[in-house]
Amino acid sequence: MSIPPAIADRFEIEALRGELNDAVMMRDYDRVGSLFTPLGAMRWPHINKEFAGRDEIRAGIEWGQSLWEFFVQNVHPGTIRLDGDIAVGRAYIQEFGRMRDGSSHSNYAVYHDHYQRTPDGWKFAERVYEVRYLDSTPLAGSPLRPAPGA
């Protein structure tokens, strides 16, 4: 039994979204860059930041993560519309954390995505981050530190 191509494409794109989230959370910046096409772009209009090309995207994510004391991002499935070797979609985001300057950050957002099929599988061609809700109320909790030897 074979899987219809459209189902396989959707599965691969959803895995790509999860892979990017994991790479950011694990601070694996080389993996982040590898998930974009060579001319891919990542944009955050709310902070007037844009990174184009794998090297810039890698450096931009590393810069952004260096600002956080701790950071948690959850990605929730959204839409995927396929059109041959390209696709568009949305993923819904909830993230929170504390910046190194002591400020807190919690938001709900949408990634507006463009995907492209490459010889290495589906990649991000563009990812635009749209914040829908932002709360800077100080977080009451604190990050847990791993146990020694863990």
CATH numbers and ranges of domains, the chain? 5-135 (3.10.450.50)
Q: What is the pLDDT of residue 44?
A: 96
Contact 105, 134 (CB under 8 A): yes
DSSP E strands, 3-150: 36-44, 49-52, 68-76, 80-83, 86-99, 104-118, 121-135
Q: pTM for this one?
A: 0.91
Residue 1 is predicted with a pLDDT of: 59
27: left (phi over 0), alpha (psi -120 to 50) or beta: left
> Of 42, 58, 64, 71, whose CA–CA distance to 130 is shortest?
42
Mean pLDDT per 10-residue interval, the chain, length 150 residues = 84 97 96 98 96 98 95 94 98 95 96 98 98 95 74
Q: What is the pLDDT of residue 150?
A: 59
What tokens were used for 150?
């863990």
Distance spanning both ends of the chain, measured CA to CA: 43
